[in-house]
A and B are shown apart, each in its own frame.
Chain A
Amino acid sequence: MTLRIAGMGWVTPLGSGVNSVWERLLAGEEAVVEQISSPLNARVYPAFRVPVSATAQLPPHHRLRRASAISRFAVAAGLAALEEAGLTMSAETARRTALIFAIANGGVVYTKRFYHEIVETGAQAASPLLFPETVFNAPASHLAAILGIAGISYTLVGDGAAGLLAMKMAQDLMASETIDQCLIVGAEEADWLLCDAYHRWRLLRDAPPIEPFAPLRRGTILSEGAGAVVLSRSGDVELDRVDAGTNFSRQRDAASCVNRIFQNLARDGVDVVSASANGTFIDAAEQRALAKQCPGAVVYAAKTALGEAPGAGSIWQIICAVQALRENRVPPNLHLKSDPVFRQDKPNARATPFRRAIVSACGMNQQVAGLALSRVG
């Protein structure tokens, strides 16, 4: 069974559109940090936000009237991916399309607002309009309604590996010949509450930049947006293999788990790696596995420019890997400190084409997974 990437959609703090965001990454741009503050304790946190213009072109739909930012990001990315795949959603196409949604923190803005009213005033103040939007599958429901998908729609929750676990689910679903394509969407919205939580979890740094693979792991900066991929039976990049990975119990066990995934995926060769390095403890595990299993590969860590949006991040990495395979170049790694193995601070183009790419997702809450892609022809 051959599965290929037929279309992609991208909504990021660097704007939207695969080509546009990719060009900005190639130019060495990074998202601009916004300071967001907690009204409860006046703390200020850095975060990368999606510009309003990135979702300004959304078609009007009653489902989007009250929808949260995460739903809007997801719809924008999903529609763009379908457009790139050349798919128009007729009833028959919708019937043969599955929607798989990857999410980490969900609609945190509405969830916080809903619970805040309960805490502040009491249960009698709870809003029946907000509650349905707090449910994890609300964004998927909106997207399914807009596209007319009446069959399979799954929302998967997880950490930074959720997007790759969704790809695994898509691969399993497409064993059925009744499904022609899966639309896989990963999305996330940023909020001060998440920043506060990640700060207390000691995963957030106080100010930019994100330093990938740095000896001193100062933490990451949260981000938002969405990524979407249409997995189909035609396209110019093939999904070779998905390793749904495992869960590590303690941080010190992460290295062996990540290494096993790279070992599995790199055995047929690898030219380029779209890494999940985000400036936290998990970078060390990924770095060791890269050095051991992919010593000659070009490594690109997009989160240094786009930030860490756990639900969307691994789909963003897939988009980077596909673009690298298509264009035979990767953007510069930003803020890379000292490790000579990954020293690569200019756009990297090769005379020999990239044929195979690995995407690794090393989540911060125990889940790790990976996948391999190859250029067709």
Chain B
Amino acid sequence: MPLFAPSNNRRKEVRVAVVAAGVVSPLGFGLKETLAALREARDCITPVSRFDVAHCRCKIAGQISDKRLAKETSSGRRAKRLHRAAQMMIWALREALEQDPVFKPELSVVGTTSGGMTFGEQYYRSLHECGTLRGAASQIANYPPQKPLIDAQEALGILAPCQVIANACASGTNAIGHAFECIRSGHHERVLTGGYDALSELVFVGFDSLQASTPDRCRPFDRARSGLALGEGAAILAFENLDTAEARGANILAEIIGYGISTDNHHLTQPNPSGAGARQAMEGALESARIEAAEVDYINAHGTATPFNDAAEGKAIAELFGDVPVSSTKGMMGHSLGAAGAIEAIISILALREKILPANLHFETGDADLSLNIIANEPRSAAIRTVLSNSFGFGGTNASVILRTIGA
């Protein structure tokens, strides 16, 4: 049953358009650079430079250059106090608003997992080392997870209330899904959505302690996969009632047609090996979109490259979709946690518009018991109409969204 099935006496469901998008990730700054990286199947995962990883198993991550970030975002005293996540958000939001300068959201629903965590780390280290705490007040004020979104809105003159979803690695897709439902139900006309996260030592070491991150390379769905590589970034999507967007002549990038969510109560950090949680989210999205599995042309998988996630997700995909082309783009840019779902939604839009199926890097052989049509190592060209994008996270949160080319 779709989440937001209208009753007989309620207004009909509203269609939801994506009218603008902005992105910063290890793949690049903006849609253009992101597309170029996807075309080249560029591996943007590099040795970690932000903190000491000598005692970690994993030593790599998808990272955004500080120098470039500082250059690309605004200067000034206030801007310099902002967290890197806020700077990324400002860049992504600015790119989106440049595409649609008249877009004024009524609500923002955005995902993150750790917001300004590194400010918290710096503050704690200073306390621990009894060092100078001169900048502590500013670090503390800018540490809260919702702050980067508020900062970005402030920088660009947006006053919409901020609902910041922290559903671990599913946060970005959950945010997109809820934003979609807010418009589809007729409650809102325009909603800003997306996700952000910046690399932090605490989170990096946390995944390393769980042996969830790789000491090797990030190889989603490969039999020899050994874990994820973390990443960072920010992505923003502007959603609008399709009718009003068309009426004002907005450039429509794609349509969101379905959303599914499930909570897998199997374990705090591991998916149910049967793939039931992932399957429930994907089935929910199909039902919400009122389409058959056969209508999906490409799946942008969560595909973290951890043994458990890829096995459970792969099983659910194979059972539901058969041999639909699948790739995880995390092999190129790492897993940017709360930003991942939003960045991957933008990659899905690029796939729809540019007729490209992004590559799944470092794939040689899949699991013996899984038959998946992996887009191995090189992108493919294909005219596709419908894409499903998955995100799954700690706490058992699973989310899937379905995007479609407009007019399809």
Query: Which residues of A are interface residues toward B (Cβ below 8 A)?
Result: 38, 40-41, 63, 99, 103-104, 106, 111-112, 114-116, 118-120, 122-124, 126-128, 131-138, 140-142, 144-145, 148-159, 165, 168-169, 172-173, 175-179, 193, 196-198, 200-202, 244-247, 249, 365-367, 369
Contact = CB atoms under 8 A, between A and B. Distances in A.
B332 to A, nearest CB: 25
A140 to B, nearest CB: 7
B144 A153 contact: no
Contacts of B263: 99, 141, 144, 149-153
Contact of B202 (A111, A122, A142, A150): A111
A156 B163 contact: yes
Nearest to B5: A178
B38 to A, nearest CB: 30
A194 to B, nearest CB: 10
A202 B141 CA distance: 11
A156 B4 contact: no
A159 B4 contact: no
A172 B181 contact: yes
A152 B185 contact: no
A173 B181 contact: yes
B293 interface: no
B1 interface: yes
Contacts of A149: 263, 265
Majority secondary structure of chain B interface residues (helix, strand, loop or mixed): mixed
A104 B121 CA distance: 17
Interface string B245-283: 000000000000000011111001100000001001000
A367 B174 CA distance: 21
Given A40-B130, A197-B140, A367 B265 contact: no
A248 to B, nearest CB: 9
A42 to B, nearest CB: 11
B121 A138 contact: no
Given A144-B396, A150-B264, A157 B130 contact: no
Given A140-B395, A249-B154, A367-B162, 9 more contacts: A114-B202, A137-B167, A138-B395, A156-B163, A158-B144, A159-B144, A165-B161, A176-B3, A178-B4
A245 B166 contact: no
Nearest to A146: B265
Q: Which of A115, A196, A201 has the most CB of B within 10 A?
A: A115
Interface residues of B, number: 77
11 contacts: A115-B124, A135-B168, A144-B265, A151-B262, A152-B3, A153-B395, A158-B162, A159-B146, A176-B181, A178-B4, A366-B147
B145 interface: yes
Given A134-B202, A145-B265, A157 B185 contact: no
Contact of B123 (A151, A165, A177, A197): A197
B55 A123 contact: yes
B262 A137 contact: no
A111 B206 CA distance: 10
A115 B114 CA distance: 14
B262 A154 contact: no
Interface of B: 1-7, 52-56, 107, 112-113, 115, 121, 123-125, 127-128, 130, 133, 136-137, 140-141, 143-147, 150, 153-154, 159-168, 174, 178, 181-182, 185-188, 201-202, 205-211, 261-265, 268-269, 277, 280, 393-397
Contacts of A119: 124-125, 128
A155 B202 contact: no
A173 B187 CA distance: 10
A161 to B, nearest CB: 8
A153 B140 contact: no
Contact of B165 (A41, A63, A154): A154
Nearest to A165: B163
Contacts of B125: 119
A41 B146 contact: no
B209 A126 contact: yes
A247 B140 contact: no
Nearest to B200: A115
Closest 3 CB pairs of A and B: A141-B395, A244-B161, A136-B166
Contacts of A132: 210, 268-269, 394
A27 B286 CA distance: 55
A247 B161 contact: yes
A164 to B, nearest CB: 9
A228 B130 CA distance: 39
Contact of B206 (A38, A41, A134, A178): A134
Contacts of B143: 197
A200 B124 contact: no
Contacts of B165: 154-157
A141 B395 CA distance: 5
A142 B162 CA distance: 25
A176 B5 contact: yes
A326 to B, nearest CB: 29
Contacts of B123: 197
Nearest to A144: B263
Contact of B397 (A106, A122, A137, A247): A137
A102 to B, nearest CB: 10
Given A138-B394, A200-B140, A367-B162, A154 B178 contact: yes
Contact of B128 (A40, A124, A157, A169): A40
Nearest to B136: A200
A118 B201 contact: yes
A292 B12 CA distance: 41
Nearest to A243: B161
A200 to B, nearest CB: 5
B163 A169 contact: yes
Contacts of A369: 161
Nearest to B160: A246
A366 B162 CA distance: 10
A132 B267 CA distance: 10
Contacts of B160: 246
A118 B202 CA distance: 8
